Amino acid sequence: MASHSIRVIASTAKVNLIMTWRFFSWTGFALRFFTPLMTLGAAWILYNVVYARQTLPPGFGAVIGSSGYLSFITVGNAFYVFVFAAAFVVGRVMFWERATGTIEATFMTPMSRLAYMSGIMLAAATNSLIDFAAVFILGLAFGFQIALLNAPLFLSSLLLTAFGLFGIGLITNAITLTFRDRTTTANSLMILFMVFCGLVCPVELMPPWAQLISKALPLTYGVRLMRASLLGIVTVDPMHDIAALLVLDAIYVVIGAITLAQIEKNLRKKALFSIF
Partner 1 sequence: MFTRVVFAEAVKSLKVYFFSTRTLFWALALPLGNGLYLYFLYLPFATKSVDLQFGATTYTIDLVGFTIIGQLLYSFFTMMLLAGASFDAERWQGTLEVLLLSPASRVAILLGGALANAVNYVWMLVALVLSWVAFIHVGIFVTDPLALCGSLLLSYSAMMALGMCLETVDVYSRRGSIFTAWLQEPVMFLSGQIFPLQSLPVFLLPLSYLLPLTFGLMAVRLTLLGGASIYDVRMPLATLASMTLIFFILASLLVNYAERRAKTKATLTQF
Instruction: Give the binding site for partner 1 (CB under 8 A).
Output: 27-28, 30-31, 34-35, 37-39, 41-43, 45-46, 49-51, 55-57, 60, 64, 69, 179, 181, 184, 187-188, 191-192, 194-195, 200-202, 205-206, 210
Q: State in angstroms the smallest separation of the CB of 88 from partner 1.
A: 11
Q: State in angstroms the smallest separation of the CB of 99 from partner 1.
A: 9
Q: How far apart are CA 87 and CA 194, in angstroms?
A: 12
Backbone angles phi, psi at 148, to 5 degrees: -160, 120
Backbone angles phi, psi at 161, to 5 degrees: -65, -40
CA dihedral sign, ordered 246, 264, 193, 36: positive
Q: State in angstroms the smallest separation of the CB of 245 from partner 1.
A: 22
Q: How far apart are CA 150 and CA 225, in angstroms?
A: 10
Q: Identify the three-state secondary structure at position 70.
A: helix
- Cα 4 to Cα 116, 170, 247, distances in angstroms: 11, 20, 28
Nearer to partner 1, 12 or 214 (CB): 214
Q: State in angstroms the smallest separation of the CB of 42 from partner 1.
A: 5
Kindly provide the b/e burial profile for residues 138-169, where b requires at least 16 CB atoms within 10 angstroms of the residue's own CB: bbeebbbeeeeebeebbebbbebbbbbbbbbb
Nearer to partner 1, 6 or 30 (CB): 30
Nearer to partner 1, 59 or 110 (CB): 59
Q: State in angstroms the smallest separation of the CB of 118 from partner 1.
A: 28
Nearer to partner 1, 73 or 162 (CB): 73
Nearer to partner 1, 269 or 276 (CB): 276
